[in-house]
Structure 1
Amino acid sequence: MILTNAQIVLSNEVIKGSLTVNNGMIDSIDHGNVTLPGAIDCQDGYITPGMVELHTDNMEKHFTPRPGVAWPAVSAFKVHDAQMISSGITTVFDAISIGDVIQGSERLNNLTRMVDALNESRERKLTRADHLLHLRCEVSHKDTLEMFNTLLERTSAQLVSVMDHSPGQRQFASLEKYREYYQGKYKLSDSEMKAFVERQTHTSQLYSDQYRKEICHTCNRLSIPLASHDDATQAHVDESHSFNMVIAEFPTTAEAAVAAHKKGMGVMMGAPNVVRGGSHSGNIAAHTLASEGVLDILSSDYYPASLLDAAFKIAQLASNQYSLAKAIALVSQKPADAVGLKDRGRIQSGYKADLVWSALEDDHVHIEHVWKNGNRAF
């Protein structure tokens, strides 16, 4: 396959030229256009690496499209996969939650269904993107450690993140924001919300420190990459670094983001944060971290189509240090490198031909085609 008349986004620059693919791998990148028969004219559009998504809980909504409705698992997974590939995401770390703030939630009920569907879909070669497992561990839940150990006995994980969503700290340092979010989400009365806050505070005090230590110890022993979540202070970052965490997911303050970046942790922020112009929880905005040069990775989180849009928006910001090449690396090269994927995430000879052809349409990025291992997937 030959792609020509394209703006090819490399690791450090954008060139106008052509790209050749052989046997699913990028063969050569050349300046200038070609007129060979069969070459695909990209009409001056952008060719970027297939994106690498480290943290998305997009799968959950397809397993329970309405409250009380459990959709057939493999069918739900295939719809999720199609949504990811159509967004230009060719490698997906599906974030599956162990533990939740609500007992008996649909998230907990779907836990094994989602893991089994992921594994079955991969084994049956039903997926268009590569899907890997990211276990999100809510350490304030009493059953998290047991469920984590049980899952690791039946499947392998490629990334683990450790989080505590109890009130008054990290993502929800503002109790007002905490009440607004959970009372709205679960339709709790004032008295129910008061009891909810007390219960979550208590379980965090009982379990969080112990579970965080044990889960991190297990991951270090098994060489599974670790990510912190919602670090807010220097002390949080110091603790995360002491556990050998390589990614700082969604730090809530500039202090934490700068500290994590200095320690070599990949600072991850949400692409929806970029597209919307700020955090829905009232925490630090991703574009603010970009202006300080400490933004390393973007994640689509809950909205897959936001990822490529966010990268282009970062490149268009007036007050930052990110060229288009550096901004695209936030969704491709940087996340791949952070978790040790050395065969993808950049347009370079010898790398996987995971590619996205897109064009700017006003303030939106329109995806024309996506290739996985040199085969058209969208």
Structure 2
Amino acid sequence: MTGWRIAGGTVLRDGALAPGELALADGYVAEAVLPGARRLDASGLLVLPGLVDIHGDAHERALQPRPGIGFPPALAIRDSAAQLLAAGITTAFLGVTLSWEPGLRSLEMWRALMAALDAARPLPLDVRVHLRFEADNLEALEDALADIAAGRVHLLGFNDHTPSILKKLGNPKELAKYAGRAGLSPEAFRELIEGIAARRDAVPAARGRLADAAATAGIPMLSHDDATLGDRALYRSLGARLCEFPMAEEVAADACAHGEAVVMGAPNVVRGGSHLGWASAAPLAERGLVTVLASDYHWPALLEAPFAMARRGRLGLAEAWALVSANPAAAAGLADRGALRPGMRGDVVVVDPAGPTVLATFCGGEPALLTGAAVARLG
């Protein structure tokens, strides 16, 4: 591997931004610059730990940009990797929903996407799988258990959207949205979900098997859209130590009181609030009730969010950056990234703060993305 010297920039180290240089060697942050190392002039730029995204499902738009219009998973993965690097994301957990719905979130798509990921590796960044298992998807349980055991799953999320979808069936617009995603007529979708809901008594046992498999494999677990303290207690009892997108402030507070990570969406911060009318992430993060931000449905928001928080004046950029790098890395059990200390993975993003705009993304100590502006700065 080639050594690198990123010189002249403002480097985020030990929780503070300060002028300095960063050395990369043999895939890691190094104590000193190697002889003959290539130089990137980072004058006027920020040198930051790479972004760690523990829930991003924007790849779904690469798979199905319009309802009923699909593209091959291999093409979607290639496109997604390019977009992730352009957003400064060096570790990406693809939020892959394994649902009882046909089409985009089906077992068939899961199998195709897992095969495409296997074929595409090694990728220029660390791409992992966040399995978002829909509670009622009993037909897919054995596949999920096998893929967890095989090491293809790196984070398990407990999803249960069936009750909320059932409540929306009386709204023709909402019904059409779900039916279109599944490639069904509204009538067929209604018949499908009503049949699914009729077997809810089998969900707890299936959920328990998934939790046992994840614990055996040593992968973190999270709950999704916890509405009540009872929801959080249930998933905590299964071993889920991450609370993702809590629907009530008291749920976030309860998770924090138990030392659990609380995840909310970076788009919420960038837009100034939830598109669903739920709690606003930025003020909760400023109060310590949100500890991790994820890209959710929009990868570029993960880079923008810390700058948006810094502009609010309650958190400095260094402190806000922890929400998108150090904290998600810790929540996912990845102790080798999220900071620019010697011996850590050489995952680095070089950013023009005026945008903010990514000029270069280094993954494992090597440049995975160099824009034209970055190439002009090479020495």
TM superposition score category, shorter chain reference: 0.7 to 0.9
Residue 77 of structure 2 aligns to a residue in which SS? Answer: helix
- For the pair 1:94 / 2:94, whether they are aligned, the reply is yes
Alignment-derived partner of residue 16 in structure 1: 19
The 5 Å alignment of 1:189-338 reads 201-203=197-199, 205-318=200-313, 320=314, 322-338=315-331
Of 2, 9, 15, the match for 1:6: 9
Of 104, 107, 117, the match for 1:106: 104
- For the pair 1:358 / 2:357, whether they are aligned, the reply is no
* Distance in 2, Cα, partners of 1:341 & 1:92: 12
* Distance in 2, Cα, partners of 1:38 & 1:114: 37
Alignment-derived partner of residue 30 in structure 2: 27
* Distance in 2, Cα, partners of 1:310 & 1:201: 38
* Distance in 1, Cα, partners of 2:105 & 2:167: 25
Structure 2 CA distance for partners of 1:21 and 1:43, relative to 1, 3 Å = same
- For the pair 1:342 / 2:335, whether they are aligned, the reply is yes
Q: Conserved in 2, the CA contact under 8 Å of 1:98 and 1:147?
A: no
Structure 2 CA distance for partners of 1:312 and 1:178, relative to 1, 3 Å = farther
Q: Conserved in 1, the CA contact under 8 Å of 2:179 and 2:189?
A: no
Alignment-derived partner of residue 51 in structure 1: 51
What RMSD over aligned residues (CA atoms) do the two structures have, in Å?
Answer: 2.9
The 5 Å alignment of 1:20-169 reads 20-28=23-31, 39-100=39-100, 102=101, 104-108=102-106, 109-122=108-121, 125=122, 127-152=123-148, 155-168=151-164
Q: Conserved in 1, the CA contact under 8 Å of 2:13 and 2:339?
A: yes
Structure 2 CA distance for partners of 1:254 and 1:176, relative to 1, 3 Å = farther
Instruction: Tell me by how many angstroms 1:240 deviates.
Output: 1.9
Q: Conserved in 2, the CA contact under 8 Å of 1:273 and 1:279?
A: yes
Instruction: Tell me by how many angstroms 1:207 deviates.
Output: 3.6
Query: Alpha-carbon deviations, 1:243-265, whole Å to 9, x = none?
Result: 22121111111111111111111
Structure 2 CA distance for partners of 1:20 and 1:190, relative to 1, 3 Å = closer
* Distance in 1, Cα, partners of 2:94 & 2:288: 28
Q: Conserved in 2, the CA contact under 8 Å of 1:138 and 1:163?
A: yes
**Gap regions ≥5 residues in structure 2:** 370-379
Q: Give the AA of the match of 2:46.
A: Y
Q: Conserved in 2, the CA contact under 8 Å of 1:11 and 1:329?
A: no
Instruction: Tell me by how many angstroms 1:305 deviates.
Output: 0.8
Aligned-residue identity in percent: 29
Q: Conserved in 2, the CA contact under 8 Å of 1:6 and 1:43?
A: yes
Residue 282 of structure 1 aligns to a residue in which SS? Answer: coil
Alignment-derived partner of residue 33 in structure 1: none
Residue 238 of structure 1 aligns to a residue in which SS? Answer: helix
Instruction: Tell me by how many angstroms 1:140 deviates.
Output: 2.3
Query: Alpha-carbon deviations, 1:271-310, whole Å to 9, x = none?
Result: 1111111112221121131232111111111111110101
Structure 2 CA distance for partners of 1:271 and 1:24, relative to 1, 3 Å = same
* Distance in 1, Cα, partners of 2:274 & 2:234: 24
Q: Conserved in 1, the CA contact under 8 Å of 2:162 and 2:197?
A: yes
Alignment-derived partner of residue 375 in structure 1: 366
Give the structure-1-normalised TM-score.
Answer: 0.86
Alignment-derived partner of residue 374 in structure 2: none
Query: Alpha-carbon deviations, 1:226-257, whole Å to 9, x = none?
Result: 11111121111222222221211111111111
Q: Give the AA of the match of 2:363.
A: K
Instruction: Tell me by how many angstroms 1:177 deviates.
Output: 11
Structure 2 CA distance for partners of 1:181 and 1:87, relative to 1, 3 Å = farther
Q: Give the AA of the match of 2:112.
A: R
Q: Conserved in 1, the CA contact under 8 Å of 2:99 and 2:137?
A: yes
* Distance in 2, Cα, partners of 1:238 & 1:161: 15
Structure 2 CA distance for partners of 1:218 and 1:290, relative to 1, 3 Å = same
* Distance in 2, Cα, partners of 1:355 & 1:79: 21
Residue 210 of structure 1 aligns to a residue in which SS? Answer: helix
Structure 2 CA distance for partners of 1:144 and 1:285, relative to 1, 3 Å = farther
Q: Conserved in 1, the CA contact under 8 Å of 2:73 and 2:112?
A: yes
Q: Conserved in 2, the CA contact under 8 Å of 1:167 and 1:200?
A: no
* Distance in 2, Cα, partners of 1:340 & 1:210: 27
* Distance in 1, Cα, partners of 2:114 & 2:190: 34
* Distance in 1, Cα, partners of 2:301 & 2:22: 26
Q: Conserved in 2, the CA contact under 8 Å of 1:11 and 1:326?
A: no
* Distance in 1, Cα, partners of 2:336 & 2:150: 27
